[in-house]
Amino acid sequence: MQIEKIISIFLIVILFSCNKRGVECSYVKYEGKAVIISIAVAPANESNCPLNPRKVLFAFIPNDTTVRNNYIFKNWSDTAALTINGGTNPSQLFLDSLDITVGKEFMCNRQEITQGNCTPVYFQFTGINLNEVNGCR
């Protein structure tokens, strides 16, 4: 449990250090959808909800697939893990509450940094809340 707290604090520090030099981070947004491609038992060595954690992978598909040619970070995969609360693998109960199942599609944006020192690429789900206060219920 102590290591999870340390990791959480580290992630928070990283998130809030984006504006260190007074330069805000700017991103270019590619609109699309995320398709859930797998749900499995989460590895014990990752940041997990305590009850029935699941590792959820999704594939991002831009609305206009030709924009992939415009990606700044072309080597950054469009396949990623769906996490809650800034990096935690969700519980099965959380997935059930949002009807997250293999094959399900959700509105999602790929965000790529154009200015600043923040996370280079992240995926923003726009139709569901992945930062619920009680997300690990």
* Structure confidence by residue, pLDDT tens digits, 83-105: 999 899 999 999 999 999 999 99
Residue identified by tokens 């995969």 is 77
Which run of H or E residues covers position 81? strand 79-82
| Per-residue confidence (pLDDT) for residue 86, from 0 to 100 | 85
pLDDT in tens, 112-130: 999 999 999 999 999 899 9
Rg of the chain over all Cα atoms, to the nearest angstrom: 16
pLDDT in tens, 59-83: 999 999 999 999 999 999 999 999 9
Alpha helices by DSSP H, listed for 17-126, are 92-97
